[in-house]
Amino acid sequence: MTERIIPIADGRYERQRPFVPDLAAAPDGQLTDRRGRRLHDLRISVTDRCNFRCTYCMPKSVFGKDYAFLPQTSLLSFEEIDRLVRLFVAHGVEKIRLTGGEPLLRKHLERLIGMLAAIRTPAGEPLDLTLTTNASLLARKAQSLREAGLRRITVSLDALDDATFRRMNDVDFPVSDVLEGIAAAERAGLAPLKINMVVKRGVNDHEIVPMARHFRGTGHIVRFIEFMDVGASNGWRMDEVLPSAEIVRRIDAELPLTSLQPNYPGEVAERWAYRDGSGEIGVISSVTQPFCSDCSRARLSTEGSLYTCLFATGGHDLRALLRGGDSDERIAAAIGHLWGQREDRYSEIRSAETAPLRKIEMSYIGG
């Protein structure tokens, strides 16, 4: 098969220099967009590289051995990330999630975690600091991550059956090593964990009930995610989407469930508890039950572009302001203007026409 090479480099995606309003009020922690949605969560991609080639995220047909990843000089430095996070926190962000690619591939990540763990909200509270990982390096890093100040962790795990898992990660990585990473995270005090499973009909949907059964009673929460049309390289088709309602029905038939209320406004996962009190699961239904109306998440790419939607086609180049000598006040004003003008609701208007659009790859801005 001929590889399709789409190099990630400055200019791969449309990136606009943000508009900076001349007369902007200082951040008051109450920033909302045009649909009344608060800015509460910031997801930060710390690397565009990953050691897996999951077919729904970084398929080998695109991300082959000659793929051009970003040079180190293009990545935001830890100091630049720290500076931006402080400005986002002033606007109301309380939760930070570090993503990739695979974030544990970023050298000295513990130093960044220590910097972010020291930041306080205007009310004096620590940030809800978490990280999403494929767990391939977690066994050796869990303790140092916890000591650096990481509070929670999410592990991506798409099957317990080893053959299925190896096919999906497409680098022949064994599921046993992921489970070892989960155990190490437990020992380090990063539990309870969230376990994310992307479900593709006909690929790994037979693993839904085994996943639920395996983690039931552990305190960990498995979240089943509908296969989404993120990016332009994963070959998304609607007939491969297994609706979350069907996922819940399959589990409930063997492990009876009851619905739970959200933990907070804008929580993406619909919560379900086992009726015997042995824990809970979540389902994330971006395709069949859009939650755009409550979306409070912004995303910062590896080289400093701000995206206000997971399905965006273009971003806003905050790095240009950072490296162009703009003051904190001007950068904060730009962030406030961008979020204030936000109207994104892609999942509500998804159609056969929107699915093929050249959207930002999930590996570039995190899930």
- pLDDT by residue for the chain (367 residues), tens digit each? 344 433 444 455 667 899 899 888 899 999 999 999 999 999 999 999 999 999 888 889 888 989 999 999 999 999 999 999 999 999 999 999 999 999 999 999 999 999 999 999 999 999 999 999 999 999 999 999 999 999 999 999 999 999 999 999 999 999 999 999 999 999 999 989 999 999 999 999 999 999 999 999 999 999 999 987 665 555 667 778 999 999 999 999 999 999 999 887 767 889 999 999 999 999 998 887 777 788 899 999 999 999 998 777 789 999 999 999 999 999 999 999 999 999 988 666 666 666 666 667 766 776 6
- Nearest alpha-carbon partner for 240 in 226, 251, 230, 224: 226
Cβ neighbors of 158 (< 8 A, separation 6 or more) are: 54, 164, 165, 168, 169, 197, 198, 204, 207
Going from the C-alpha of 347 to that of each of 87, 169, 290, 312, the distances in angstroms are: 28, 26, 5, 11
CB-CB contact of 317 with 305 (8 Å): yes
Q: Which domains does the chain have, with CATH numbers?
A: 14-365 (3.20.20.70)
The amino acid occupying position 346 is: Y
